Structure 1
Amino acid sequence: MVQQNLDEASEVIVPSVVEQVRSASRTMVRELGFMRTTLAGTGYSPSAVHTLLELGEHGTLTAAQLVQALGLEKSSVSRMVTKLIQSGELEESEGEEDGRTKQLSLTKQGRRTLEEIHTYGQIQVSSALAMLTQQEQRTIAQGLNAYAQALKAYRQEKVKTVSAKIQITSGYRPGLIGRVAEMHASFYSRHSGFGQFFESQVATGVAEFTGRLDNARNAIWVAESAGRIVGSVAIDAEDLGNNEAHLRWFILDDGCRGGGIGRHLLTEAVDFCDRQNFSAIQLWTFKGLEAARCLYESLGFELTNEEQGNQWGAAVTEQQFTRIR
């Protein structure tokens, strides 16, 4: 559906307009401060600021409702909400219909912070609009609103399409070992020049690990499309010790990146680790995989070590990422 819509839209969209909108969007991101770690004159991240804005608009929301409103993973929202509660900006209360559901709302301090955010934003926007005519101001307001709604509609349609086509399941199934090794070999031969030795190591490791799935703290998930495995991730509870989980064999098939499948797989793994009360999650990867790094960091992982290595048959910069519970 999404691709069909894009194909149809490409017949009426002028390429130069696309580039103008992209350029303007990049400028707005920079000028509005979204490249910085904090936003709107506060000490909070952009996602935290938007959490306060959403609660200011709706009064009360559950964490699950915030996940939908912000388009973030529930583990990220959970950590952010915890920090805002500890900072005195939010408070929790039991839901009227279900005491197990926690309702989030702004505290008195949170309302003051929200007022400061609104004041900051109004000054920022008003100062910029003052440089334009009234007609230009109205044109911008109408255009930005239409564009924002189109972006939201596209994201929602994309999520529906991906969810409809992809099934995430856990546990061993016939062909898993060979398919995970194949996806790794195909990608890393192009990216890092790895060859037979790397593929053999992956296949050997996955084969050994699947023999330990009787341990309830070990788990592997795969994404399937039309019965074909197109992604994987695993949690190994035994090879690191110290109650730390090892996130292993996170990979997506060509053509499946950018559609939310990887985030879905990683979220399954991270949520599993939280339920199992691991003290930390460790993963090892290679420098240069920026999309994956952004995904790791959005779920709470931080780069903790980086060094050169050639154990896989080619020289690469190995990176270790850690997520502390």
Structure 2
Amino acid sequence: MTDATIIEAREGEARFGDYVALLKPRVMSLVVFTALAGLLVAPASIHPMIGFSAILFIAIGAGASGALNMWWDADIDAVMRRTSKRPVPAGRVGADEALAIGIALSGMSVVMLALATNLVAAGLLAFTIFFYAVIYTMWLKRWTPQNIVIGGAAGAFPPVIGWAAATGSVSVEAWLMFALIFMWTPPHFWALALFMKSDYDDAGVPMLTVTHGRKATRAHILIYTAILAPAALALGLTSIGGPVYLAVAILMNGWMLIGAARIWRRDEAVAETDKYAVEKSFFRFSLYYLFAHFAALLADAALRSGGIV
């Protein structure tokens, strides 16, 4: 829970930007993009206004999750350099206010998505918010080094929700999009943990770097990247795959594996000397990796709709 003494010591007047930051707009942008991809590649037509509404309410649900996360994690956010300036630990938005916003937006997003599309999509959105805010934030994050592995499911659901909004059901293609994000999440965040150094240790978060050490974390990045590659390629062999996606998947996964191998071979003293340049490069590339895969799915969908493939 939040540490009232920390919060009160940093109180300040909230601005509009603080409420935007409360919703974690960077995370929301990834949610919106992958949900939109899931909706557009689905084998069903959807009215543009309904599609827009679906993505809007999924985005609001993601923002609600972010607000609930910041409410609960304000105490550990306050001692981590990466998160100390967030609106709740910095005292610009009160903890009770963040909780109220998170709950209100959660309820509104689920109800409105049900009205705009269907109960399957709304149910998946409700489960995603619950999973991120309760299962991951309140339980897994502070309990197990597998926090980001299991918790990654929350970030993997948006394309499934988008698919369900368009079709009213979920198929193997949707679950493979889920698998792509799910397997991508651990190496992405473990690379971040490597160059954030003592942040997670200071906050008492049992990240893999803290519980098992950096050498084990580097090995885990390589293992999960090796598992990620076939999951990514498998998606290209389904009805929503195509030549663009397969080409992108082969290139991006090859480069991702090379980067993971470089991290695995790293000596910690060398990494410290060059300020974790390899780890930072891998982390940045992993962001482009996910965007490229979903953009390729959209490109193949456009080619199919134009009768080209």
TM-score (norm 2): 0.29
Between structure 1 and structure 2, the one with the greater Rg is 1
TM-score (norm 1): 0.28
Higher-helix-fraction structure: 2
Higher relative contact order (CA 8 A, sep 6+): 2
